[in-house]
A and B are shown apart, each in its own frame.
Chain A
Amino acid sequence: MGSEAPALIGTSGDSLRESFGKALSELAREFPNLVVLDADIAGGTGVHHFRKSHPERFLQFGIAEQNMMAAAGGLAAVGMLPVVTTFAVFCLRAIEQARLSLAYSRRNAKIVASHPGLDVGPDGASAQALEDLAAFRAIPGMTVISPADPIETALATRAILEFDGPVYMRTGRSPAKRLFGADHRFEIGKGQVLRQGTDVTVVACGVEVARALEAAEQLASQDVAVRVVNMPTIKPIDTVLLARCAEETGCVVTAEDHNINGGLGGAVAEALAATRPCPIEFVGVRDVFGASGEPEELAVLFGIGSGGIVEAAKKAIARKRAA
């Protein structure tokens, strides 16, 4: 009965965090300088896999994220390849350390954040980082990545280790839908068209990619042809692909599990304003804090479910026709 071990929450093998943790263990052999930094949350971020496989390269900092973040700068300075891991919201706590000691100092250090957005669920608003993409995107020289499924997360994990420079990458807490096969490719700075369409382009990242595909399916039954673009790199954004999609579909919707201010939507709007202006609708949390609840319930409540994307797509198309 009770003496059985408790069921841990959301440790499904298909969450992005678990995929990241496993990939990191597998990559350790190829990257002999790789060290993983933890602040007493390895069970949650996925790096418990690495702790088990490579205990000598697993560095425990205790519950002290600011110290951990700046220490990563020091580790990189002496030739290690540090990967800082914690929840996204605690990366915000240590963002000034990331700014000065990683980005400004131009260190080859990676920050990988689990538990972003409403996807955090019942822990509630205090733990739901809806600002991290915007905040890290505003730091000069910081690459910002948010993969969409477990396969892409594993590929992105390799890519950020191969890349020279500071990176902020979001994973995810909840079990994620598998969207891609073994032949999927990931390149920093590149988006991909996942579904062709001519009426509107939905540009999404993270958990919103699966919802965008659902929305496209729903709209197809109403004779609306939605193009879906997966945009796992928020910075530097794929301006060429965005301009082409804006040109060909005439309007755009962005979708992210993040505040509508400053994240993927902001990046897309900035890119299109400079290249191919068109009507843009933003799907995201509308500048409020989250709440406790299950991720799917919260997605509906805060308008970032597939229904929210359907509505936004219709609005964007209407604006395009009215113009």
Chain B
Amino acid sequence: MAFTPKAVIAAPAQQKPTPARDLEVEIERAARFVRRHTIAAIYRAGSGHPGGALSCADILAALFGAELNLWPNTVADPDRDRFVLSKGHAAPALYAIGAHHGYCDATAALALRKIGSPFHGHPHVRDLPFVETSTGSLGQGFSVALGMAMGLKLRNSCARVYALLGDGELQEGEVWEAAMCAAHHKLDNFCAIIDYNKLQSDARNDAIMRLEPLSAKWRAFDWAVAEIDGHDIAALLRTFRRAGATRERPSVIIANTIKGKGVAYMENMPAWHGSVKLTRAQAEEALEGLGANRKEIREYLDGV
């Protein structure tokens, strides 16, 4: 799929205006929104997984801001690009990027995990138009995405399929069944992104179940492999473009990230991996660190 910037943004006054830099600035802004919204929603919910949502904020912002051939008015287009959040527990980040781009209402999405709200703890395809499949059981989203890529090829569609996986998720055998299958069927319309934050539920990957040598594993499965800094927007955009130009093979982007990125006290701290309850003070400190002012913090945490 051709590289299609989504929005034309006025350049900030001091900066040398180049279209590429403008896009990166816009994506950084979106990622900051995702992080703030995620913190606010998890605080309001009283539970949720902040670490893995924060680590993939830049990846989601880059995908939705520049890469996916998808707009709020094309969510039912059979030839839209598909994005599958296989690591479904990062749902708050998906809802936030959806809200940022107008796929859902930002205030409504703050009702995360609440009874009657479509913003369930894990994404559900029947309750939100931009959720492509229900996830929350690690490994399965990747197989569903594989099926979409196969089906789209069969239908001669030029749409691409992107799946975001956690690194712990790679321990599921299903992931490697899907990986073998995608290479066998030469699904060059298929792109996996690994949120390689080195941590999973209980501890570091290497303490739970070693993943390395990770890129060698994917190469051995005959995927086109790129390993990048998953918080570097320019690198993300560049790598997506390269993946889009790869023929006859699926692509995987191993994105090195920091779990809890953007919230100083969470970064790389194992205690923040799982589902946690944020105190008022913790939520305020996190939002402050993400550049929100007093008024914005009140709106995020108390607004209706």
Query: What is the interface of chain A, defined by CB distance below 8 A to chain B?
Result: 1-9, 40-44, 48, 60-64, 66-67, 89-90, 93, 121-127, 291-294, 297-298, 301
Contact B276 A6 (CB under 8 A): yes
Residue interface bits B241-265, CB-to-A below 8 A is 1, else 0: 0000000000000000000000111
> Which of A2, A6, A60 has a CB less than 8 Å from the CB of B264?
A2
Name the segment of B64-72, B113-121, B189-197, B226-234 touching the other chain.
B113-121
Contact B137 A63 (CB under 8 A): no
CA distance A2 to B120 in the complex (A): 26
Q: Which residue of A lies closest to B119 (CB)?
A: A292
Contact A124 B137 (CB under 8 A): no
> Which of B136, B263, B264 has a CB less than 8 Å from the CB of A126?
B136
Contact B208 A40 (CB under 8 A): yes
**B171 beta carbon closer than 8 Å to chain A:** yes
> Which of A9, A297, A301 has a CB less than 8 Å from the CB of B277?
A9
Q: Which residue of A lies closest to B126 (CB)?
A: A289
CA distance A126 to B119 in the complex (A): 13
Contact B121 A127 (CB under 8 A): yes
**Interface residue range, chain B:** 35 or more
Contact A8 B274 (CB under 8 A): yes
Residues of A close to B278: CB separation below 8 A? 6
Contact A292 B121 (CB under 8 A): yes
Give 28 pairs: A residue, B residue, CB < 8 Å, sorted on A: A2-B265, A3-B265, A6-B277, A6-B278, A6-B282, A8-B276, A41-B201, A41-B202, A60-B209, A61-B209, A62-B171, A62-B208, A63-B169, A63-B171, A63-B201, A63-B209, A64-B172, A93-B137, A122-B114, A123-B275, A124-B121, A125-B122, A127-B121, A127-B136, A292-B114, A292-B117, A292-B120, A293-B114
Query: What is the interface of chain B, defined by CB distance below 8 A to chain A?
Result: 45-48, 88, 113-117, 119-122, 124, 134-139, 168-169, 171-173, 200-202, 208-209, 263-266, 271-272, 274-279, 281-282, 285-286
Nearest Cβ on chain A to B300's Cβ, whole angstroms: 16
Q: Which residue of A lies closest to B205 (CB)?
A: A62
